[in-house]
Structure formats: structure tokens, C-alpha cells
Amino acid sequence: MGVKSIISGTGSYLPEKILTNADLEKMVDTSDEWIIQRSGIKERHIAADGQTTSDMAIIAARRAMEAANISADQINAIIVATTTPDKTFPAVAVHVQSALGIPHCPAFDVQAVCSGFMYALATADAYIKSGMASTVLVIGAEKMSSIIDWSDRTTCVLFADGAGAVVLEARDAKDDEGLEGQGVLSTHLYANGDGKDLLCTTGGPSCTGDVGFLTMQGKEVFKFAVKYLSEIVGEVLAKNRIHPDQIDWLVPHQANIRIIESTAKKLDMPMDKVVVTIDRHGNTSAASIPLALDEAVRDGRIKRGQLVLMEAMGGGFTWGAVLARF
């Protein structure tokens, strides 16, 4: 009998302030129509001044722990996916540990931008399967507004803030349960560093000494996103020997509705089996998948026992996917 990891609870947090496309029309030369047509975004949440990534991560984590019905002393690893930590160091994960009173354990951040939550979830799953931890708090949290040039219309209309979290717990796995068993079934991670200049920040600790602003060659990134996501969902299907119609829900990273639709098309999945939050959340980078997952779990769409495919692509380039039976 082996060990598997199951998602025992989800939680999320969105800051109060909502920035609409109409608000952005007053800030840069753009239009509601352009933003909706090109990206699918209508509004997004923006953190308050002084509200940090760890502030949001802590609330999302608390909600996931409540949903999983576990206490702080049961957690024995914390992994936070973020590109926008409060400070260059220490990690957001140690802020979470301290605020929630979690006992001494490994606590670290992973940085894979928009694919960060896929990297964090895959790492947490590997921790559990190798016996290094039994209950892992996995968080995606971002204050993307802090690295946006608010005068750059090509990026400021797209990105936003928020946090999502899951509790991943070890359970005994029966050898013969296969695809029908609850828990993480397969994880897939990739990077291609040749894309590093197409989506990046203009600064950083060891080059300019400041955090810089996000810049993106949107059209190029779009092409790679469609290609890599199509490839990776194909790999998930092949590895698990499943047909797309066996997947109950696609929970994609929310960067652009057109990228989401293209992945759904590749999977031949109707859009009513795809969890879409981009219209209200914008692109919250590493937070987008756990935010979408939590929304669909709490509103009753995603039910226990259903098969969920998560996928993301981000700066680096990095991309990843996780197939799990919820």
C-alpha cells in the first residue's frame, strides 16, 4: 500500500477594492470593449495600500484549514507560490507560519509566476508521497498590482491581486484503486528558459536593486501559451489513459479567455465544464487556480469524487498541469 495526497480543503481571499474596466478607461488609453474582447476581463480586485501578499495568503490559508477541519499543529510543511513576496526575503511561507502558529516545519516559497501553483502543488504531492510531510498547506498568493506600471495599457488592464489555498493530506492508497481513487493522480511540470525575456520584470534585487515592473510581449506569450498548454493537456490524457469526456472540470490558469477556450477546444470540453473567473478576477498569477478551485468547490459545482484537471503557463516560460480526483 502506498501513500497518496488528497485535497482535504480549499480557501481563498480577494481584496475588497474592485477596479473596473471603466476605472481603467480613466487611467490609460483603453476601452471596456477592447479589454473584454482581447482578454475576457471585466473587473479585478486590487489590494489596499499596505496590504501585503502574506496578509492575503494568511486569510486564504485559514479558510482552507477550516474547510479541511485541521488545526495549525497538524501542518508539517508550508509551500507558497508567489512572484510578489512582501519582501525579497524572508519567504511569504514563514509569515504564514508565524501568523497561524504552525509548529516548526519546512516553509518556503516557489517562484514560477503564473504556473507557481502547479509547481507548489506538485512539490507538496512529492513531499507527501516521499514521506517528508503528511499535511501540507499549499498557497498561491499575489499582489501583482505592486509590480504593474499603471501607465502601461498593455499590462495594467490584465493583472490583479488575490490568494487561494489548499490543504493536501496524506492518505493510504490501495494498489488497485488507479484512476478511481481520490487524490492527486499525476503532476506535470516544464520550463523553457529561452522565453525568459518575453514576460519578465524590468528589475530585481541583483540587477537594478528595485523590483521593477512587469513587461510582456503579449502576442508572443499568447502563442506559446496555446502551444504548451495544448501539449501538456495531451500528455495528461496519455499518461493517465483517459478520454477528455472523463474529466469533470477544467480549472485553468486565468490569463485570457481566448487561451482558456483554446485549451477547452483541444480537450473537446464544453465551456460549462470549465471554471472561469477571469471576467471578475483578472490574471492573479499563482493565485488564479486555487481561487477558481475554491469558488467552484464552495458554490457546489466541483463535488467530491469528480476528476479535475488544472493547468497553467507563465513567465520563464514555465508551465504545468495537475490531474486530481477531488
Ligand X SMILES: CC(C)(COP(=O)(O)OP(=O)(O)OC[C@H]1O[C@@H](n2cnc3c(N)ncnc32)[C@H](O)[C@@H]1OP(=O)(O)O)[C@@H](O)C(=O)NCCC(=O)NCCS
As annotated, the active-site residues are 114, 253, 283
**Shortest distance in whole angstroms from residue 171 CB to ligand X:** 32
* Gap between the terminal Cα atoms of the chain: 20
Residue showing cell 526575503? 89
The 3-state DSSP class for residue 322 equals strand
**Shortest distance in whole angstroms from residue 119 CB to ligand X:** 13
Burial letters 86-114, b for 16+ CB under 10 A, else e: beeebbbbbbbbebbebeeeebebbbbbb
**Shortest distance in whole angstroms from residue 180 CB to ligand X:** 33
**Shortest distance in whole angstroms from residue 222 CB to ligand X:** 4
Q: Pick between residue 27 and residue 48 the one whose CB is nearest to ligand X.
A: 27
Q: Pick between residue 293 and residue 297 the one whose CB is nearest to ligand X.
A: 293
Q: What is residue 301's DSSP assignment?
A: S
Q: By C-alpha distance, which of 275, 303, 270 is closest to 288?
A: 275
Separation between Cα atoms, residue 217 and residue 285, nearest integer Å: 16
- In degrees and rounded to multiples of 5, residue 13 shows phi and psi of -150, 135
Residue least distant from ligand X (Cβ): 218
Q: Pick between residue 53 and residue 256 the one whose CB is nearest to ligand X.
A: 256
- In degrees and rounded to multiples of 5, residue 29 shows phi and psi of -80, 85
- Compute the C-alpha angle 86/88/75, nearest 5°: 65
Q: Given the DSSP bridges, would you call strands 199-201 and 214-216 parallel, antiparallel or unpaired?
A: antiparallel
**Shortest distance in whole angstroms from residue 303 CB to ligand X:** 29
What is the side-by-side strand order in the sheet with 318-325?
Answer: 183-191, 318-325, 307-314, 249-252
Interface residue list for ligand X (CB under 6 A): 30, 34, 38-39, 114, 153-154, 157, 216, 218-219, 221-222, 225, 255-256, 259, 313-314
Q: Of all helices (H) and strands (E), which one includes residue 266? A: helix 257-266
The 3-state DSSP class for residue 310 equals strand
Q: Pick between residue 173 and residue 225 the one whose CB is nearest to ligand X.
A: 225
**Shortest distance in whole angstroms from residue 245 CB to ligand X:** 27
Q: Pick between residue 16 and residue 29 the one whose CB is nearest to ligand X.
A: 29
Q: Pick between residue 61 and residue 255 the one whose CB is nearest to ligand X.
A: 255
DSSP string, 134-180: SEEEEEEEEEGGGG--TT-HHHHTTB-EEEEEEEEEEEEE-TT-GGG
